Amino acid sequence: MARQIRWELGLLAWLLCSAASAAPPDPVALAQRIDTHIEAGRKANGVTPAPRAGDPEFLRRLYLDLAGHIPRVYEAREFLDDQRPDKRSREIDKLLDGAGYVSHFSTVWRREWLPQVGADPQVQFLGPQFEIWLKKQLQANAPYDKMVRDMITAPPYGYFDGTANGGNQATAFLMANELKPENIAAATSRLFLGVKIECAQCHNHPFDTWKREQFWQFASFFAGITPVGPNFRRAPNEAIEVRSLTIPDLNKKVSAKFLDGKEPKFTEKVSSRVTLAEWMTAKENPYFARNAVNRIWANFFGTGLIDPLDEPGEQNPPSHPELLKELSKAFADSGYDLKFLIKAIVSSKAYQLSSASQGASATNDRTFSRMKVRGLTPEQLFDSLALATGYRDAPGSMRMYVDPRMPRGEFLAKFSSTERLSEVQTSILQALTLMNGKLIGELTSVERSELLSGVAITPFFDTPQKIEVLYLAALSRKPTAEETRKLTEYVDKGGPTHDANKVLADVFWALLNSSEFGFNH
């Protein structure tokens, strides 16, 4: 009996330890670790951080970063009126669990992983199908490493299986790189490992240690794929056992080898890309988790811990090496859980600082002492304009994305840019589109704008209340007392035309064309 009791107690202890070890990772604890590292860096540099962002500034930033658009009027009003001390944490959880997160980050990752779609009309058709695949992954909170493995190992013929949904949409990554080993290798090393090894494609890297031979050894993992032209009119195949390439102009044949110099162990009848994907996504890989964390960090702060993102090395060390190391380990230990990492970042004090400058010492982006002002993506700008004004495009139509004749497609084409969002500049065409384009004219017309017409004709609001609604719709904040006083006087006088409704439309137009609306800050 005693032995039985000891055995049961031992089993219970083992189960308790197992339950403790299996406890989910805590993003709030990681957020605190983020702030510990960031604050230490500021003190070392003698930098005073900006104050904590006010609720309106935080809310607008959070919506743009997690949902891809500004909040609706009622969402802004509810949050601003909420007196609970944990309301920011609640809002983070709500957005991460919402459809906006799935939709927005399918665009974020498509822009990151298939940049060709926005630059090459011949591969534009890949964008919508790839985003459908991404939405499925994000809806299921698929681990980051699984998404990357699926793209790297997708069958090159998967897009041509004749099914209604286009087959395996993950194949879009291979197709966007023309199914050419050298193109896929360059994109894979840069996007998923943070190594710009393509600089060694034609010669040894001029500033790093990468050799031309290493580039072609890495490209050899994709040697079995049959390249096709940009028209993609025939289905390619894959020769599983082909794992070597000849370096152009040298007539030298090289075999597949990992970037760390180790020889891969191939399995018969298994694609070499599967072997590469296993090495890439392994927890002990020095590149994979670090690169993912760095890119996600840059998405929220406008500057990476390693910046430029694709050039790690002695000449470009991380601003906070211990933080990058800790975040990389935590991300890998979480099972590459994107929501876990994102929640930790946006829960940190560093993310929730104001964008207001505190003098010259706070202008150093690498200390993260204030939030960097970032330009909106074309998608964020259009969708925010649509939400602010009540505009409705053709719902559910994929043509909105690819057809420049549709309002959304036309807008995205005019505002597309390859600039970093923290360095984006508005072109003359873009400025004119926002100031007096046909779309903005309709969005700020009392007759055509759903929100503006409702505000103008309601008998339940006085002028200050109408102005408050317009501010909440456009800027996610209430107007200051001085703004309310001046605009109320202006609207009530009716301006030069003595038309209060037209003047109200002019106020809305001015808010939508303000830098406060056009930037994420």
User: pLDDT tens string for the chain (521 positions)?
Assistant: 555 555 454 545 544 554 444 567 899 999 999 999 999 999 999 999 999 999 999 999 999 999 999 999 999 999 999 999 999 999 999 999 999 999 999 999 999 999 988 777 778 888 888 999 999 999 999 999 999 999 999 988 766 544 444 457 899 999 999 999 999 999 999 999 999 887 766 656 555 577 888 888 999 999 998 766 555 555 567 888 889 999 888 889 999 999 988 899 999 889 999 999 999 999 999 899 999 999 999 999 999 999 988 877 778 899 999 999 999 999 999 999 999 999 999 999 999 999 987 664 556 678 999 999 998 888 898 899 989 988 876 444 433 445 555 677 677 766 665 455 444 455 555 565 666 667 777 778 888 888 888 888 888 899 999 999 999 999 999 999 999 999 999 999 887 778 888 899 899 999 998 989 989 99
- As a whole number of angstroms, the distance between CA 361 and CA 42 comes to 10
Backbone angles phi, psi at 200, to 5 degrees: -100, 15
- As a whole number of angstroms, the distance between CA 201 and CA 99 comes to 41
Q: 484 burial class (0-12, 13-18, 19+ CB within 10 angstroms)?
A: middle
Rounded to 5°, angle at Cα 25 from 24 and 30: 160
Place of tokens 């779609």: 117
Place of tokens 């103008």: 456
If you ran DSSP here, which 8-state letter would residue 222 be given?
A: G
If you ran DSSP here, which 8-state letter would residue 359 be given?
A: S
- Compute CA distances 447 → 191, 444, 453, 468, 498, whole Å: 47, 9, 6, 20, 17
Residues 6+ apart with CB under 8 A from 487: 467, 479, 507
The model's pTM is: 0.89
CB of 274 within 8 A of CB of 222? no
How many residues are listed for the chain in this entry? 521
- Amino acid identity, position 359: G
CB of 334 within 8 A of CB of 380? no
- Residue 332, CB-side half-sphere exposure with 13 Å CA sphere: 18
- Residue 210, CB-side half-sphere exposure with 13 Å CA sphere: 27
Tell me the β-bridge partners of 247.
Answer: 252
Neighbours of 164 (CB within 10 A): 5
Question: Nearest Cα to 249, choosing from 200, 188, 202, 304?
Answer: 202
Rounded to 5°, angle at Cα 475 from 470 and 480: 75
- As a whole number of angstroms, the distance between CA 118 and CA 417 comes to 8
